[in-house]
Amino acid sequence: MSLPVPAGSLRPTRVLDVPLTGGTVSVEDRDHTRPFLLLHGGGGPATMTGFADLLAQRTHSRVLTPTHPGFAGTPRIPGVDSTRALAAAYVRLLDELGLSDVTVVGNSFGGWLAAEVALLGSPRVSGAVIVNGVGIDVEGHPVTDVAGLSPAELRELSFHDPSKAPGGGGTGPSPDIQALISYTGPAMSDPTLLDRLKGLGDLPVHVVWGESDGIVSLEYGKAYAAAIPMSVFTPLPRSGHLPQVETPEELLGALVTDPA
């Protein structure tokens, strides 16, 4: 992965509407050198914006943060109606942009999505980082059902220190919950995913987990890593379900440090 370098002048973030078959995807592009594709979870694109800026500034990397079609008022793409279909759309996006040596980073639903992108075997993808991802079934460690929880309850589950939760939302399932469920299904998992992860073969995958996650437990994260042949597992102390929001410096350190 890219090593940190002193921050310098950055090109302004551009917003690209990348045409794909059947529609377009809106992508924020922080344009530098080695590319990272950051995939948000159910909390929406706001949960990735600050970390994307930090990653671009500290590493001088090119950081792309798409808004999943259907989120934040963006139009859906006909036929892109599952996590696997959305992953295929993002591989086409990488093709359209002509990118290579891409590290795909995803949090929560975005972690599941990052795994699906990696499983497609595109030569443009050189690695993946799954941050408190969902999508697998782990006996004895179910994903917490957040339906019907109050914002305060959701903050308690999502953060090691709930006082670090930003105001105005962006910490859990967003108003775009219907778009999320249209990709994941109501169970928020794919019973085939755990077994399919062995298909990642020799692709380097880093599984990073906030230890205080009340949505998906640390043991769930360990099971995720154990299913991936070339994975490294890094727990993050004092962090919950959204490390990129709660402990961005620690997450950045995990991304730019070669795990032993």
Query: Which CATH number belongs to the domain containing residue 233 in this structure?
Result: 3.40.50.1820
Q: Is residue 1 part of a domain?
A: no
First CA to last CA distance, the chain: 13
Please give the average per-residue pLDDT across 155-169, as a whole number. Answer: 86
Kindly state whether residue 6 falls inside one of the protein's structural domains. Answer: no
Q: Are 125 and 100 in contact (CB under 8 A)?
A: no
Long-range Cβ contact pairs of 85-91 (< 8 A, separation 24 or more): 85/183, 86/113, 86/116, 86/183, 87/113, 87/116, 87/117, 87/119, 87/120, 88/120, 89/20, 89/25, 90/25, 90/37, 90/39, 90/66, 90/117, 91/117, 91/120, 91/122, 91/124, 91/125
pLDDT at residue 7 in the model? 35
Place of tokens 């980073």: 105
Top pLDDT among 68 and 16 is at 68
Q: Is pLDDT at 215 greater than 70 in this prediction?
A: yes
The domain total for the chain is 1
pLDDT of residue 259: 58
Give tens-digit pLDDT for 1-24. 333 333 333 445 666 675 676 777
- What is the domain range of residue 160? 14-256
Please state which of the ranges 12-16, 72-76, 110-114, 216-220 shows the lowest mean pLDDT: 12-16
pLDDT mean across residues, the chain: 89
Q: Cα-flanking dihedrals φ and ψ of residue 184, to 5°?
A: -95, -25
The Cα diameter of the chain in Å comes to 49
Sheet with 14-20, side-by-side order of all strands? 14-20, 23-30, 62-66, 35-39, 102-107, 125-131, 205-210, 231-236
For 100-143, write each residue's pLDDT tens digit.
999 999 999 999 999 999 999 999 999 999 999 999 999 999 99
Pairwise pLDDT comparison (184 vs 9), residue with the higher score: 184
Q: Which residues, 6+ apart, have CB-to-CB distance to 97 below 8 Å?
A: 18, 64
- Weakest mean pLDDT among 14-18, 150-154, 179-183: 14-18
Task: Give pLDDT, residue 61.
Answer: 93
The amino acid sitting at 103 is: T
The answer as to whether 2 is a domain residue is no
214 in any annotated domain: yes
Residue predicted with more confidence, 179 or 5: 179
Query: How far apart are alpha carbons 42 and 45 in whole angstroms?
Result: 9
pLDDT at 26 over 50: yes
- CA 196 from chain centre, in angstroms, equals 19
Q: Is residue 70 part of a domain?
A: yes
- At 166, the pLDDT band (50, 70, 90 cuts) reads confident
Establish if 40 belongs to a structural domain: yes
| ∠ Cα 15 16 21 (to 5°) | 150
pLDDT of residue 179 exceeding 60: yes
User: Given pLDDT bands bounded at 50, 70 and 90, which one contains residue 256?
Assistant: confident
Query: What residue has token string 């050198």?
Result: 33
Cβ–Cβ < 8 Å for 229, 200: yes
The answer as to whether 9 is a domain residue is no
Which two tokens mark 141? 């460690």
pLDDT confidence band for 258 (50 / 70 / 90)? low
How many other CB atoms are found less than 10 A from the CB of residue 7?
Answer: 12
Q: What is the mean pLDDT of residues 35-59?
A: 95
pLDDT for res 173: 54
Q: Does the residue 8 lie in any domain?
A: no
